[in-house]
Amino acid sequence: MRMILLGPPGAGKGTQAVRITDKLGILQLSTGDMLRAAVAAGTEIGLKAKDIMARGELVPDDVVVGIISDRIEQPDCARGFILDGFPRTVAQAEALDRVLKAKGIGLDVVIELTVDDGILIQRIETRARETGGARADDNAETLKKRLDVYHAQTAPLVDYYKTTGLLRSVDGMASIEEVAAAIDGVLAEF
């Protein structure tokens, strides 16, 4: 099973990804983790990323796609993977499609967790009150900025994947158990 979980910050993607990886025995691939591993391993693409990061610049899409391409060829990805934090833009999705096509594979499904921004902000405000703001990102202002970035850059992926027929939407506002059951229903199609 090769899949992507889409949704804004706070939608529960991380919670559901852990559950899916445990259930299906597939890996959750984080682009940040993959970048750090490629740098540590001293791979050609990792060294390129290291130089870019050392200059304080964002790693360009072609380097990130190269790292993903290398990573998914590893034996532990043979059963599948969930991409975490990638793609974030339509250009990245198109690049991913080209890489997968060149390898003779494709995505099985893209699951979108749909949520209400206003309720997400209320949840963060409540959590901040309950925990005394213990987490640095436990504030409405930070979440609003992250939501703005999501809507500007990542939300267009919903339409992109809808046109491919890969997109399935799940109500991310339900309880964790209900969201999990809905995802299981989607995965049962495959």
> Which residues, 6 or more positions from 23, have their beta carbon under 8 angstroms from its beta carbon?
184
Catalytic-residue membership of 71: no
User: Is 13 annotated as catalytic?
Assistant: yes
Q: Give yes or no: 36 in active site.
A: no
**Are β-strands 81-84 and 27-30 bridged in parallel, bridged antiparallel, or unpaired?**
parallel
Residue 127 is a catalytic residue: yes
Q: Whole-angstrom Cα distance, residue 72 to residue 81? A: 8
From the list 2, 88, 144, 162, the catalytic residue is: 88
Of 13, 48, 71, 168, catalytic: 13
129 an active-site residue?
Answer: no
From the candidates 36, 127, 144, 162, give the one annotated as an active-site residue.
127
DSSP β-bridge partners for residue 113: 170
Structure tokens that stand for 114 in this block: 């749909």
Distance CA 37, CA 122 (A): 36
The tokens for 53 are 């990061």
Q: If 0-12 CB within 10 Å is exposed, 13-18 middle and 19+ buried, where does residue 149 land?
A: middle
For the annotated catalytic residues, the residue numbers are 13, 88, 127, 135, 146
